[in-house]
Structure 1
């Protein structure tokens, strides 16, 4: 854990990792608290009526033990892959912990995946068992015959056909279980990359990945845990963000976590949850924060008790940063990482590390730099690739059964991210975008995130994507694809107004020279805009 200080420099300088020889995520987030405070609340399941069911650490430890025994009876052994295709729920956490205790490998997957995307991931991982619900079993029924490694399907919605009942398994097996003796480097979970730039890859993480996240979580949420803290995130727990930026670290620190089952993000419902549950700490990705802008008079209509909000997944931007400060009365702490090496840069207003448009400074314990193609550090203000030096406890072990892809991820001891950015003279990092996302126009290298953030500050704009469109004169021009809020009509006059809005707030070289209105925005399951779809569309318009 981080020592509480007011000085970032000394905190970073004096930090040292203390990784034990033996560590198991499952026992760390349930059994340790169950032994000390079995009645301490671990989870709260929020319902539409505003009430919540509670699950204590004692119950969490016992039920995960029972399910671990049940999985073992189904033939799941150490090193086997078990997929979780579930919403936020008690059962999701119980299953995760049981898998870790078994020494098996959890493969969290989003319920939003279609059958082809699901089949690809299950086949790639060689999944032996799947824990899901009725929606998941319906998808599995279409592809099950092709999943040669799959031996068992368990549903939280009850047994049907060859599908086993989750709750019956828990009830029928003993609540005592001796967890496997795992080391920090033993594999614990496989999280697939989002696939924004190519086929998704399974990033394999060891049990140490949780320990590696703790300093970043503590800075992002201003020295979590604090008295009365209660965590909530709209992010899917199948995503590294929801799982490792919110759920597991909070349970490790003894902070209760709220689960909720929204079919899609609803800004009004989200604010209602935060108010009714008394949420104090929240992980809210930038897309969700921008959607909250559509709610008027938040401070007048909702009595919020938020102490700290962290945000990551894409660039937050100055516009949303300033809006959140005015609307919530706090500074959103932006942070950065990726599936392979998460939460290595962070803001922390409590330490005085906060700047609109920046993603913070290196988290204590992590060495981060901007490098060139040969692995040399760039000078302050020079654009290059964000990279993290190994060894690092939050860094992935490998891409699953892909040694060549793993090797290509590194330049010497630097793990490359594929993300372009700069480090300024004060040590702040700014994120421009993926290599393919950066726009080159009239000699300027332009990151799309700041433009998109500025666009969503316009009263008519709900969501936006900015890409480079090939141009004979400028190499590329900035083109914006915009989803409007209800009640607005996308005509030429509004397009010109939006262009001027960005030009006046950013610069003459960053504003979109073309604005196209679209009905919807393609997003990954982690809430990131899939810019390559629009980039390809813009290229087709020019015949390139």
Structure 2
């Protein structure tokens, strides 16, 4: 297959966003593909191997039905709809229905507690909740505290005061005449966690995510209308919008969806072997788990492209995967606040461990505290140029928090909160979250480089590196290590790992403390929660950070 971008520099030079005044992903993209009634949009498989196939026409019809239901029940343009569902087909139908009527979708994970739900519904003044039976039960525990909610819809068994999704849809027509949505109108509200305090409410318009993820699907995922694309992400975080909805469907790509209760590496490899999946996208955690299996026992005849995002992928994992599959995992970088802004693209030579180069439509640099671009080799803040022209794939604002929104900007730049180094050839190399960088005896140490060194050792399955307080050095490098099968904690293994890191990276970066753990705390998106480990470490030693 010929890549969608064959000349990186030419594409960046000639790229233009071409934003229309009105845009709606459901009507302008999904309904376009639905003109071919047989065009496959999704192959859905559950844990019992039950298969369901859905065309774009199916999604058009079903989302139109739901749109009619919501409008009849009083949901209107601008209303916020909380959407919490596992990988049910209804999640995609609901997302499209909300976009059609101009409502603002607020996705969340099924792992949310009643306290989380109360905070989200109350803070957003949500008008509707559409969810599964398990979450509906949590909502019922706090229903007296949710005065803004006008409509509650559940997928599953009947519940008192809830509309049962599938039976209810049968009463509505597949024809829907909704409003023309302005491209700059709010469309999505993500709750995204920071290092402290309550989650931020990140607002996207109809163009900053639904439209702008054309970049993600076309250039980074490199999809076409004949692909079958599998994104391993949970529906509860931004990556599902990236790679399970907007990016692929822009390109007319069919989605492979596996509804599962938890990620199972053997099952994942079996499905990759069984189905004609051509492109795979996952979090680094997924790949780190997959390479611990015997990959030589599987054959992935259809697979042509693999991508990873969420946090940097260790070079050792990339090498192991390539040796087994012949495919290099291409890292990509972005945030809940953005679409894909930096990536390893098929037409650009890959440097394992690098974030890659800026995507078409974005100027991304490493800058200092005064907003000046730093020379190659100097560590600084990853920043996106927003003046004189703001790129389309950048969020609208943190809702109701103008001061927090303003703090993200420095002169002509949006500050991502991540640190990196840019090399002589324009490749970006991730150092860490600004809060994660370790300051030891005057040295700045990024956790990712130490973690990458550790994972090269055969005894290490996974690791997380954080700052630990130290009276002499201020901070030292501490590593939390999950051991591979067959290895057991010992003082001799600690010494072996420390010596190994000294050999493969700068000696001052070695972990002066190593703690063996059964597992690492992670977000629902699979990112390691270093902040939790760091806070635990500083609290344990009677310090605060």
TM over 0.5: yes
On the 8 A contact 2:308/2:329 being kept in 1, the answer is yes
Q: Secondary structure at the match of 1:341?
A: coil
Q: Secondary structure at the match of 2:259?
A: coil
Q: Secondary structure at the match of 1:342?
A: coil
User: Could you say which residue in structure 1 is the equivalent of 2:218?
Assistant: 218
Query: Structure 1 residues 194 and 354, CA, compared in 2 at 3 Å: closer, same or farther?
Result: farther
On the 8 A contact 2:102/2:187 being kept in 1, the answer is yes
On the 8 A contact 1:464/1:482 being kept in 2, the answer is yes
Q: TM-score, normalised by structure 2?
A: 0.95
User: Could you say which residue in structure 1 is the equivalent of 2:30?
Assistant: 30
User: Could you say which residue in structure 2 is the equivalent of 1:20?
Assistant: 20
CA offset at residue 436 of structure 1? 0.9
User: Could you say which residue in structure 2 is the equivalent of 1:529?
Assistant: 528
CA offset at residue 469 of structure 1? 1.1
Aligned counterparts, 1:125-274, within 5 A: 125-208=124-207, 209-221=209-221, 223-225=222-224, 228-274=226-272
On the 8 A contact 1:388/1:414 being kept in 2, the answer is yes
Query: Structure 1 residues 378 and 471, CA, compared in 2 at 3 Å: closer, same or farther?
Result: same
CA offset at residue 302 of structure 1? 3.5
On the 8 A contact 2:279/2:304 being kept in 1, the answer is yes
User: Could you say which residue in structure 1 is the equivalent of 2:492?
Assistant: 493
User: Could you say which residue in structure 2 is the equivalent of 1:284?
Assistant: 282
Give, in whole Å, the separation in 2 of the partners of 1:326 and 1:400: 46
The Cα RMSD (Å) is: 1.8
CA offset at residue 451 of structure 1? 2.1
Q: Which moved more, 1:78-87 or 1:534-543?
A: 534-543
Unaligned runs of 5+ in 1: none
CA offset at residue 216 of structure 1? 3.2
User: Could you say which residue in structure 2 is the equivalent of 1:476?
Assistant: 475
CA offset at residue 541 of structure 1? 4.0
Aligned counterparts, 1:75-154, within 5 A: 75-154=74-153
Post-superposition Cα deviations, 1:456-513, rounded to whole Å, max 9, x if no partner, equal 3333333321001122333321101122344432222222222233222223122211
Q: TM-score, normalised by structure 1?
A: 0.95
Give, in whole Å, the separation in 1 of the partners of 2:297 and 2:104: 46
**Aligned match of 1:313 in 297, 310, 322?**
310
User: Could you say which residue in structure 2 is the equivalent of 1:73?
Assistant: 72
Query: Structure 1 residues 119 and 497, CA, compared in 2 at 3 Å: closer, same or farther?
Result: farther
**Aligned match of 1:383 in 358, 373, 379?**
379
Unaligned runs of 5+ in 2: none
Give, in whole Å, the separation in 2 of the partners of 1:474 and 1:328: 44
Q: Secondary structure at the match of 1:351?
A: coil
**Aligned match of 2:293 in 292, 295, 308?**
295
Post-superposition Cα deviations, 1:324-372, rounded to whole Å, max 9, x if no partner, equal 2212211111111111123100111x21241111101000111111112
CA offset at residue 5 of structure 1? 4.3
On the 8 A contact 1:155/1:165 being kept in 2, the answer is yes
User: Could you say which residue in structure 1 is the equivalent of 2:362?
Assistant: 366
Give, in whole Å, the separation in 2 of the partners of 1:449 and 1:148: 45
Give, in whole Å, the separation in 2 of the partners of 1:30 and 1:430: 36
Query: Structure 1 residues 29 and 462, CA, compared in 2 at 3 Å: closer, same or farther?
Result: farther
Give, in whole Å, the separation in 2 of the partners of 1:239 and 1:9: 32
Q: Secondary structure at the match of 1:393?
A: coil
On the 8 A contact 2:285/2:527 being kept in 1, the answer is yes
CA offset at residue 43 of structure 1? 1.0
Q: Secondary structure at the match of 2:52?
A: strand
CA offset at residue 184 of structure 1? 1.5
Q: Which moved more, 1:432-441 or 1:404-413?
A: 404-413
Q: Which moved more, 1:39-48 or 1:318-327?
A: 318-327
Post-superposition Cα deviations, 1:285-340, rounded to whole Å, max 9, x if no partner, equal 111111112211x1333434211111111111222222222122111111111111
Give, in whole Å, the separation in 2 of the partners of 1:292 and 1:404: 42
Q: Secondary structure at the match of 1:247?
A: helix
Give, in whole Å, the separation in 2 of the partners of 1:285 and 1:445: 26
CA offset at residue 4 of structure 1? 4.0
User: Could you say which residue in structure 1 is the equivalent of 2:353?
Assistant: 357
Post-superposition Cα deviations, 1:241-261, rounded to whole Å, max 9, x if no partner, equal 121234222122111101122
CA offset at residue 136 of structure 1? 0.7
On the 8 A contact 1:66/1:169 being kept in 2, the answer is no
Query: Structure 1 residues 488 and 388, CA, compared in 2 at 3 Å: closer, same or farther?
Result: same
Q: Which moved more, 1:201-210 or 1:496-505?
A: 496-505
CA offset at residue 69 of structure 1? 0.5
Q: Secondary structure at the match of 2:341?
A: strand
CA offset at residue 51 of structure 1? 4.7
